[in-house]
Amino acid sequence: MKTSNTTKLKTRFRHLASAITLTATVVLPVHADNMPENFEMKVVGDAAYGQLIQNGNSEAAIARLDGIPTRKVGAFFKANNLCVAYTKTGELGKAEPACEKALELISADGRIAASEKRMQRDFQAMALSNLGVLRALGGEYGVAKDHFTQALELETKLSAPATNMVYLELKAAQAVSKR
């Protein structure tokens, strides 16, 4: 019996629904005055070795993710979590294709039920915010701001895009004041 594309998408997004509630913040120390001290990246904590990344073991997560087929962990989960792991280890050249792939994968699904659109927006905001952090770390502040803005326009409950926008603006103000 063949499974239709719609059924496959529904199944995939049901899995995503359970995962979105388990996303985790990887980096976010906060000042006493509630200003962010760093950028915030999100992993899917219960998929694609997200727990390892959360616990500071990005190298082990990378080694495991590089060694398994995508179909076993989900293409978006793998790309997103590799994006964060590579960024955390400073391997920005390897992080870039993973971050871009995560955004491409979650943005490409055109035939998604209305009930699953919110979930897709949450993951899309996550991917945009993570890519924005990568761009900011690479000195592409305008592009980073665009990614954070796009993530904010999706109107999700994720805190990372807003936190990252504030931190980016804080860094920009500090750079101007040093001149």
Residue 24, pLDDT > 50, answer no
Considering only residues 26 and 43, tell me which one the structure prediction assigns the higher pLDDT: 43
Domain positions in the chain:
5-177
Per-residue confidence (pLDDT) for residue 114, from 0 to 100: 64
**Is residue 122 a contact partner of residue 157, using CB atoms and an 8 Å limit?**
yes
Residue 169, pLDDT > 60, answer yes
28: number of Cβ within 10 Å: 16
Average pLDDT over residues 152-177: 89
Class of domain 5-177: mainly alpha
Q: Is the pTM of this model over 0.85?
A: no
Residue 29, pLDDT > 50, answer no
Torsion of CA 168, 173, 177, 179, to 10 degrees: 60
Average pLDDT over residues 14-33: 41
Residue 1, pLDDT > 80, answer no
Residue 55, pLDDT > 50, answer yes
The DSSP H or E segment spanning 25 is strand 23-25
How far is the C-alpha of 159 from the C-alpha of 166, rounded, in Å? 11
87: number of Cβ within 10 Å: 27
**Is residue 48 a contact partner of residue 24, using CB atoms and an 8 Å limit?**
no
| The two structure tokens encoding residue 66 | 């590089």
151: number of Cβ within 10 Å: 26
> What average pLDDT does the chain have?
78
Per-residue confidence (pLDDT) for residue 113, from 0 to 100: 64
Most confident of 16-25, 50-59, 80-89: 80-89
**Residue 72 binned pLDDT confidence (cut-offs 50, 70, 90):** low
